[in-house]
Amino acid sequence: MHCLASRALAVLAALLLIVALVKPWMEVPVDIRERPGEKVECIAARPRSAIPFRITCLAFSLVMGFGHVWHRRTSDRKAVLAAAFLSSQLFFPYVVMAWEPPLSARANWLHMQHENLTWLGGDLCTNLEYGRKSWKDSIYMVDTPRQINVVRLPSSGLGAFQFGRLMTWFEMLGYSNRFCQFVRMGWITAILGTTLLIMAECLPGGRLRRGRVVRAAASGMATFVAGVLVAVAPVIAASLELDRCRDSVARGLYDEAEEHLMRAKRRLPAFGEDTFYVAQLGLLDFRRGRLDTAAGRLFEANLLERQGRYAQSMDMYQDVLAREPSGTAVHREALRAVLRAGLHALNGQRNDLACRWLEQVLRSEPCNLKANYALQIAYLRAWRRGDLDRMVRRIVAIYGYFQMPTKEIVLAASHENALFAAYREHDLAAAQAHALKVRKP
């Protein structure tokens, strides 16, 4: 009976590892595909770094899971290997952050848009009082966050990382809100399957092998400590390069400062997705008179925007967008400037201009939540019900990939916008359908 229980654990572990092989580990919305019949499909990107983890899951399920059933043998070596694999799976968030910075930056940007809509000072909370009056003509959109990052870029020095805070360690290892927002069942089932596999190896015949448990725990702990050291080393090296960059800027050695900044990016590529990294690179180009670079033109456009010269700055932003390929950090920052312009135009009752800027944002970033919700307000004011309904279908498809329950607040507000548009055109059936979705998004 005890042997049967051990073999059942092995079979269940193998099945879970096969599920982890099939199911995605992480998915981030990147595109929208609209089909005939008002059907909307959201296209998600998956990290390629999950492939070696999934291949290892296949090997463990065949060799150790079903092999345990066929040969009915266990060994210390298998338990040690399974424990080491379990610890290595815990570094999947770090691997995604370190090896695929563009995907991590896209996930963080989406999460920040969601937070910008739902937090206490966001759009939905600040417009509770006047949100339902005058067909939402009194709504003012909140500006977007100024900084986007994957890893927080310190001003200088190791002390800026605040390694004494547990939250800093979690962020350095990739365990951030943006990862938890888009993580999928594959990673969770892989961890559960490997855990059951260790249990099956440590309980041969239903009896606990304490020595084997100790050796497996030591293997897992050693793998985890080694992984933490490997993960933190690039962060420390990049921080030291930022120290040298700061000193070079203080001495006016801008070429040397740029070299240190580029070295910091090579040490930890995730730094290259930081808004402040792009701004600092543009500052160095601006001070050296290199205004033909994308970062230099972006920095000059930011200066003009701060000076209130909005038309000139917008021309430069459009030039950067035309030159830079989509998906780069510079392109994203220029597009965020267009998003800011659209929000300001909407707040200034320039509805046609707001629609133009916001539609441009959605052409480059179809899954932009902030632009989508702002366009809903603009279309509601412009009596464009068909376009408003299309935006609602899009945002529902995008939020299908979000995990946090606060997404229901945005979905309810979006259906409320569609309800107002349907009621204004006396379409009571559609208004009632949206009213039900407002209560249960």
Residue 71 has pLDDT above 80, yes or no: no
**DSSP secondary structure of 55-114:** HHHHHHIIIIIIHHHHH----HHHHHHHHHHHHHHTTHHHHHHHH-HHHHHHHHHHHHHH
**Residue 246 phi, psi (nearest 5):** -60, -45
CA neighbor of 114 nearest in space, from 311, 296, 369, 306? 369
Q: What pTM does this model have? A: 0.87
Residue 290 falls in which region: left (phi positive, over 0), alpha (psi -120 to 50) or beta: beta
Distance of CA 321 to the CA centre of its chain: 22
Quickly list DSSP for 267-289.
H-GGGGG-HHHHHHHHHHHHHTT
Question: Which of 271, 252, 313 has its CA nearest to residue 102?
Answer: 271
The predicted-structure confidence for 242-286, as pLDDT tens digits, reads as follows 888 888 988 889 899 999 999 989 988 888 888 888 888 998 988
What is the b/e burial string over 35-51, where b = at least 16 CB atoms within 10 angstroms of the residue's CB? eeeeebebebbbbebbe
* Alpha helix segments (H runs only) across 23-61: 50-60
Residue 73, CA atoms < 13 Å, CB-side half-sphere: 7
**In the chain, domain spans:** 370-441
Share of the chain above pLDDT 90, in %: 28
pLDDT tens sequence across 362-394: 999 999 999 999 999 999 888 888 899 999 999
Query: b/e string for 168-182 if b means 16 or more Cβ within 10 A?
Result: ebebbbbbbbbbebb
Which segment of 32-41, 56-65, 103-112, 208-217 scores lowest on mean pLDDT? 56-65
The tokens 């019949």 sit on which residue? 37
